[in-house]
Amino acid sequence: MSDPEPLTLTETAAETGRARTAIARRLADIICLPSSVISPQERWIVGDLLYEILRNSDARIRRRCALRLSEIKDAPANIVKLLAADELDIATPLLQASEAVSDFDLMEISRLGTTGHRVLIAERLSVSETVTAALASMSEPAVITALLKNHGARLAPPTVNHIVALAQDEAGYVASLLKRQELRPRAALQLFWHCDHPNRKLVLQRFAVGRSLMIEASEEVFAMAAAEGWADPLVNRALKFVDRRQRNREASDVSEYGSMEGLISQIRLRGAEPELIGELGLMAGISDSLIGRICDDPGGEPLAILCKATGADRAFLEQLCEGLGGFSESEGLRRATAIYDALSVEKAQTVLRYWDWSKAGDGRQK
């Protein structure tokens, strides 16, 4: 992506003599006086005079004024914006620390400035959600890395989701994303697919939770929904997430393989035949897109979650790994069994169902 055109002064700055340097310094001195000495009206008038001088002065004068005004909380907004959008070495003190730069101006500078301007904005002591959204929308690795490392930068859920989507191609975002308090289950469990094994373990440790409260609160709703003939699709969708049972018993009853374990034994012998994989998803009670993603994943951890959630013993996890990718003698099996042993059935079910509920399985394959 090419950088947008940077903001520039409205006229070519001319080389200036001692008089212009002196008047610029004097006016800046007046602007920096405390409010007990100068009224807001007088400060604004002086600011208008200084603004006109700075627009047509050389970089030396602009740099000096920027450094001086960076510490003034109520510095004139027009001058602050002019200098904050200037060449990077002039803009730096204002973009780093000035409280006089408004969010609106920061968003405009982020849109029209250079990558260097955006990195400085991302590193500010405090960055609002609207400004971080504008910065992240450019999808520049240097800027997003600065945002993720800055815990004074507040990230709205859409911004987090955008960065999670970018993490598929920018693995360096993953570790920093996992440290953000704004990360929510939906984004984290989508991020899981882009993580290495240690970070997948961190995702599961933080977001694989039980559903005891939901189960207890919803017990009588199952009877209500059944009495209504399961007519409300939204209720059905929510209850499917809460249900204690993971396997589709009806699918097992009509299957020629008799059970999920029988089907896994066939996958071990015949490999990842589409018909077998489709039936595996049906027996597990999950969507075709999710079972496809689980079986295509090269890491092995999703297979462990599938087996633990459905109550399949570790021996069948080993058979499934062997049939799908030759994991039985590889590091993949070690990763899979480590996840299998670390998760309870209920927590594995939460992850599996949340993937399906949130359509996390509909993303691009790794």
Query: For the segment 235-250, what is each residue's pLDDT rounded down to a tens digit?
Result: 888 888 778 788 888 8
The vertex-221 CA angle with 210 and 212, nearest 5°, equals 15
- Answer for the pair 291, 280: CB distance below 8 angstroms, yes or no: yes
Residues 6+ away with beta carbon under 8 Å from 252:
258, 259, 260, 283
**Cα(12)–Cα(258) distance, rounded to whole angstroms?**
81
* Burial degree of 243 (CB within 10 A; 0-12, 13-18, 19+): middle
For residue 18, the tally of other CB atoms under 10 A from its CB is 7
**Cα(320)–Cα(328) distance, rounded to whole angstroms?**
9
Q: What is the pLDDT along the chain (366 residues), one digit of tens a residue?
A: 444 444 444 444 445 577 777 777 777 777 777 777 777 777 778 777 777 778 877 888 888 888 888 888 888 888 889 999 999 999 999 999 899 899 999 999 999 999 999 999 999 999 999 999 999 999 999 999 999 999 999 999 999 999 999 998 998 999 999 999 999 998 999 999 999 999 999 999 999 988 888 888 888 888 898 899 989 988 888 888 778 788 888 888 888 998 999 999 999 999 989 999 999 999 999 999 999 999 999 889 999 999 999 999 999 999 999 998 766 567 888 899 999 999 999 999 999 988 988 764 344 333
Smallest Cα–Cα separation from 194: which of 308, 297, 289, 305? 297
In this prediction, residue 345 carries a pLDDT of: 92
- CA 311 from chain center: how many Å? 32
- State the DSSP code for 153: B
In this prediction, residue 362 carries a pLDDT of: 45
In this prediction, residue 51 carries a pLDDT of: 78
**Three-class DSSP labels, 109-127:** HHHHCCHHHHHHHHCCCCE
In this prediction, residue 128 carries a pLDDT of: 97
CA distances from 140 to 114, 187, 300 (A): 11, 20, 31
**Cα(242)–Cα(35) distance, rounded to whole angstroms?**
61
- CA 45 from chain center: how many Å? 44
**Cα(235)–Cα(241) distance, rounded to whole angstroms?**
10
Instruction: Residue count of the chain, please give it.
Output: 366
